[in-house]
Chains A and B, each alone.
Chain A
C-alpha cells in the first residue's frame, strides 16, 4: 500500500525525503498527522465562525423582534423578507448552529485536531497507526462539511427540526420546509461525518495501545492521551448507533418505511399510510449517541486542561490515578444515562427512575475532577499564559454548568425545566463554552508546537477576558428565564404577554453575544497573523515535560530526526524538591526509578518499523497493566 512504500522511502533517505513531497502531498492529501491536525483545526475554526455568525443572526431576532435589519435581506434573500427572519429560517439557523457546533467544531475540530497532533507526539510514535486512514478521516470530514453547508443553498432551506432532528418533524416535508431536501443533505452529511469519526477513532485507539515508545507504559501517559483514548472509544461505540438511527430515518423519509412513523395526519397530505412505528425509538437511538457525544466533546477539553494547568501551575496534576478513574467512570456511565433527555416523552416512568439514579451518579467523578483541578493550582506558581487563562476559565464554566446538571438529571425537577432556557444555559456552559475554552486553551498552548511561533499574548489576554465575561453574561441570565418557564426554540416572545418581561434580558444577552463574537475576530486575527508573523518560539517554550516538546520545531515527517526518545518517568514531574529545575521531561532518566538498564543507542537512521517489536512487547502487557493501574499502582 501507499503507506508501506512511503515508509520504505523513509528508510532510504529520511532526511531528504520530505523535501521532495509535492505541494498536494504535503498540504492537501497529506498523511502526516501534524498536517492533518492543522487541516482539522482550520476547517473547525471556519465552521466555528459560521456557527457563531448563525447564532448572532438569531440572537438579533430574539433581542429586536420588531426591528428590521436591511442586511438580513441582502444576506438571506427570501428567508428574511423586509429585514426580518422568517420563522422557518430561524429554526433552520438554530438547527445548523447546533449541528455545526456539536459535530463539526467540538467533535471534529477539537478531538480531530488535538488527538491527531498529540497522540503520536506524546506517546512517542512516528505517526498514526494508519496514516492513510487518518487522511481519509479528514477528507470524509471535509466532504461532510461541504455537504452540510450546501444545504444552505437549496430552495427549501437547510434542515430545521433542531439538531436532534426528531421525527416525525424531520421526516415529513409537509411539516416544515426544512424537512425537504435540506434534511436529506443533513443526513448525508452526518453519515459522512460518522465515517470520518470512526476512521479517526480506530486510529487513535490503535496508536495509543500499540505504538507507545519504550518506557511509555499506560501509567506514564499524559492525561491528554487518556482523555483522547476514552473519547475515541466512546465515539467508536456510540456513533454506529446514530448511523443506524440515521439510516432508518433515511428509509422512512425516502423509501416509505415506518420505523418512526405511525398514525399521522399532516396538513397538506392528510392521513399517511405509515403504521406501527414509534417516534420515541429514534430518540432512544439518537441519545444513545447523543449523551456520550457530550463527553466526546468534553473529555478532550478536560484532558487538555489537565495538561495546561499542570504545566503552568508548575505542579504535578493532583490525583493522577483518580483523574484516570474518573474519566473511565464518566466514559462508562455516559452510556447508561441517555434516558435523562427523555423524562417527559411519555417513556415508562420506571425507566425514568433508573436513568435518574445513573445520571446523578455521574456527578461524582465530575466533582472529583473539579476538586483535583483546584488542588492542582493550590500552592502552585502560576504562569498566566493565554492557554492557562482559558484552562482556568474552563474549570469555572465546568463548575457553573455542571451544577445545573444536578437539577436537570433529577426527573422530578426536569418536568418543569425540560426544553426551557434552563437547559440552553446548562449545556452551553458545561459542554459548549467549557469545551470551546478547552479548545482555545489547546490552541494557545500548542500553537508553538504546530507553527514554531508564539501567538500574541496581549491579544490572547484581551480575547480571554472578553470571551469569559461574555460567556457568563450570555448564559447565566438564561437560567432565570428557564426557571420562569420560557420554552426554548421560540422565534419571538412578543405574542405571549407572559414572556414579555424578558425582553431586556434578551437584549442584554444579544449585546453580550455580539461583544463576545467581536472578541473572536481578535482571536482569528491573532491566529492567522501569528502563523506567518508570530514571534519565533524555542522548542520547549512552556518548559513542559511531555514528549512533544522534545521533537524539533522543524516539521519532519516522522517527528524525531533520530531515535524516538525513551520514557523514564510520568509526565508531571514539576517542581520536584530533589531537582534543580522545576521540570523534568519524561525522557530524562530517573536513576531511582528505572529498573531496566538503558539499551545501547541505535543509529539515528534506524527505520521506524523497527519500533514495532518494542510496542508489541508493551502490547502484550496492556490488559494486565490496565488492570494494575486501576487497582492501585506503584509509580
Chain B
C-alpha cells in the first residue's frame, strides 16, 4: 500500500508552518513558545480549525477580549459561577462539559498560546490531521453540497448494483424454469460458491498478512515485550495452522458432499476414538500455551527491582501528567482532596495545603451564603426548587471537602516533605536498558495507560493506585531509524473509554541514553521552588507559578 499519509507530506506542512511562523514576525517570538504550551495543554480538547470537544480556536483572539480569555483559561468554572453571560452560554452550548482550569499557567504563557493560535498554527499542531485528509482537506471549510454528493452517489451506486444482482438471479431462475433446463441449479451454485469463497478467503488472508501485516507494531522496545512477541508468534503459528485446516475442511466438505440425486449420506453417528483424539490434542496444545503464559505473566507482574526509576503517571479528563521524584529519590504523597488548579496532582505540599484550605473555605462560605439566601424563599417555583436542590448538593460537597481538608492538617505521614522537590515535566523520559517503574493514578474516571511499542498496559483507577514495571530497550533515536521516520515519537495513549476526548489523550514518551536522561532530569525545575531540605516554603509558590 502506498503510504499517502507519510513523511513527505508532514515534512512539507512542517516546513510551511516554520515559514508561516517566521513570516508572522513580531508575534513569532511568543508563538514558538506558545506552540509547545498549546500542544502540551490544549490539543486533547481543542483544534484550531475544527471543533473537537471544545470550540475551534481560530479567530478566538477576535471573538473575545484578551483579559476575558486569560480569566476563562485560568478558571472557567469560576466565571460561570459568577454569571458571566458569555461564559454561561459557552458552557451550555457545549453540553455543560467543564473545561479544565489552568491556574498554573502565567498570563504571559497564556498570551504565548494566544499568539500561537493567532498565527493559525494548526499546520504544525496537527500535521497528520491535515496530511491524512490529503486532497479534500482544504475544501472542508467550503462545506455543504459539493461535499455531500459523493456519499449519496456511493449509496445510489451500491443500491443499483444490488438491484442488478437480484434481477440477474431472478432472470436466470425464470429462464431455467421456462426452458425446463436445469442450468441454474441453486444447490450446485452454492456448493461452487463455497469453493470460491474458500479460495478468495485464503487469498484475502494472505493479502492481509502481506499488506497489513507490515503495518503492525515492530519488534517490542522492551525486554519483557520481546518475550510477549515470541509467545504471540507461537500462538499465531498454532492457531494459524488450525485455522487453515478447519476452514479448508469446512468449505471443502461443503463442496464435496453437496446433494447428489440418488446419493445417500453415510450414517455415522459417533466414533469414540476420534472424539478422544480431538479432545486430547487441543488440550495438550493449550496446556503448553497456558504453562508458558503462566510463567511469563508471573515474571512480568513480579515485584519491580529495587533500583527501578520511579515515575508517577497521572491520568485525568483529558490528559496525562508525569511526576518524577526530586533529589530525595522519593515521590511525595498525594491526596485527592488537595487537587487544585495550581496543584493538579494533589501532591502533599505544605504551601499548597494552605492555599487549598483557603479556597475551600471561600467556596463553602459562598455556598452557605447562597443557601441562606435561597432558604428565605418559602414558596419556590419548580425552577427555583431545582436551584435550591443543586445548591444543597454543592454545599454538602463543599462541607465534606473542607472537613476532610481540616482533618489532613498536621498529618505528618502525608506531609512528609518528600513532595516538595518533585518534578513535573511535560514529557515522560526514561533511560534505556534500565528498569522503570510506572505508578499510575487517576483523578476522575478509569483510564488506561497504553504504551503499545513497549507492550505495556495498565488501567489507572481512581482510589486504587496501580503500577507496571518494564525495561525499555530501544531509544527514540533507534526506533526512528528503524521506522525510517525522523519525526516518530513514542506516545502513551489512553485505552479505556473515559469520555469525549478519549481518542486524543496522549503524552510523549522519550527513551534516551542514561547520560541524556540524567542531563534532562537535571534540567527540570521543581514547581514549588523549595530547596531540597526545606518543607516550610510557604510563600514560595507565587514565585514558582510565575
Q: Which A residues are within 8 Å of any B CB, using their own CB?
A: 60, 64, 66-71, 81-84, 86-88, 91, 156-157, 161-162, 166, 168-169, 172, 174-177, 261-273, 277-280, 313-322, 344-346, 349, 352-353, 356-357, 360-361, 363-364, 367-368, 370-375, 377-384, 389, 392, 395-396, 399-400, 403-404, 406-407, 410-413, 415-416, 418-420, 457-459, 461-462, 465, 468-469, 472, 476-477, 480, 483-485, 487-498, 500-505, 511, 514-515, 518-519, 522, 572, 574-577, 582
Contacts and interface: CB of A to CB of B under 8 A. Distances in A.
Contact of A490 (B217, B247, B464, B502): B502
A497 B10 contact: yes
B158 A515 contact: yes
B531 interface: no
Nearest to A362: B286
B127 interface: yes
Contacts of A480: 208, 212-213, 215-216
28 contacts: A64-B151, A66-B129, A66-B137, A67-B151, A83-B143, A86-B95, A87-B503, A169-B445, A268-B96, A269-B397, A344-B457, A346-B458, A352-B301, A353-B294, A360-B293, A368-B279, A374-B250, A377-B250, A377-B254, A380-B253, A384-B258, A411-B293, A413-B293, A415-B457, A480-B208, A498-B491, A500-B128, A503-B132
B149 to A, nearest CB: 10
Contacts of B100: 267
B235 A497 contact: no
Contacts of A71: 148
B524 interface: no
B226 to A, nearest CB: 12
Contacts of A410: 231, 235, 289-290, 293
A141 B225 CA distance: 47
B213 A364 contact: no
A320 B271 CA distance: 11
Interface string B456-484: 11110111101000000000000000000
B186 A278 contact: no
B464 A379 contact: no
A171 to B, nearest CB: 9
Interface in B111-165: 126-129, 131-133, 136-137, 140, 143-145, 147-148, 151, 154-155, 158-159, 162, 165
A271 B339 contact: yes
Interface stretch (B19-27, B262-270, B325-333, B509-517): B262-270
A6 to B, nearest CB: 42
Contacts of B143: 68, 82-83
Contacts of A69: 148, 151
Contact of A270 (B132, B170, B401): B401
Contacts of B204: 472, 476
Contacts of B227: 412
Given A66-B140, A378-B257, A487-B493, A88 B500 contact: yes
Interface string B189-231: 1110110010001001100100011011100000001011001
Contacts of B400: 271, 273
B346 to A, nearest CB: 7
Interface stretch (B238-246, B372-380, B417-425, B536-544): B238-246
A87 B140 contact: no
Contacts of B269: 316-320, 572
Contacts of B271: 318-319, 375
Interface stretch (B46-54, B62-70, B430-438): B46-54
Given A176-B500, A316-B268, 17 more contacts: A66-B136, A68-B140, A68-B148, A83-B143, A177-B96, A266-B317, A267-B100, A271-B337, A271-B400, A315-B267, A322-B279, A344-B448, A396-B247, A412-B228, A413-B232, A416-B228, A497-B127
Contacts of B249: 374
Contact of B3 (A87, A368, A501): A501
Given A268-B98, A370-B246, A504-B1, A263 B265 contact: no
A403 B239 CA distance: 6
A70 B239 contact: no
B361 interface: no
Interface residues of B, number: 154
Contact of B300 (A320, A415, A461): A415
B336 interface: yes
Given A410-B289, A500-B132, A344 B228 contact: no
Interface string B508-531: 000000000000000000000000
B508 to A, nearest CB: 11
Interface in B374-417: 396-398, 400-401, 404
Contacts of A491: 500, 502-504
A504 B500 CA distance: 24
Most-contacted residue by chain B among A71, A87, A166 (CB, 10 A): A87
A631 to B, nearest CB: 14
Contact of A176 (B170, B265, B499): B499
B321 interface: no
B490 to A, nearest CB: 9
Nearest to A499: B128
B297 A356 contact: yes
Nearest to A322: B275
B450 interface: yes
B253 A374 contact: yes
A176 B254 contact: no
B172 to A, nearest CB: 9
Contact of A161 (B132, B268, B497): B497
A211 to B, nearest CB: 27
A586 to B, nearest CB: 15
A67 B128 contact: no
A600 B499 CA distance: 70
A382 B466 CA distance: 56
Contacts of A383: 187, 259
Contact of A262 (B132, B444, B452, B463): B463
A147 B227 CA distance: 49
Interface string B177-189: 0000000001101
Nearest to B212: A480
B500 to A, nearest CB: 4
A575 B147 contact: no
Contacts of B155: 514
A280 B500 CA distance: 22
A374 B500 CA distance: 46
A71 B149 CA distance: 11
Contacts of A70: 144-145, 148
Nearest to B455: A416
A496 B186 contact: no
Most buried by B among A156, A357, A372, A412: A412
Contacts of B317: 175, 266-267
B494 interface: yes
Given A169-B445, A268-B98, A492 B503 contact: yes
Nearest to A343: B297
Given A357-B290, A374-B253, A413-B293, A168 B462 contact: yes
Contacts of B300: 412, 415
B229 to A, nearest CB: 9
A279 B315 CA distance: 15
A494 B191 contact: no
A315 B268 contact: yes
B456 A377 contact: no
Nearest to B279: A368
Contacts of A374: 246, 249-250, 253
B190 A384 contact: yes
Contacts of A370: 246
A458 B170 CA distance: 8
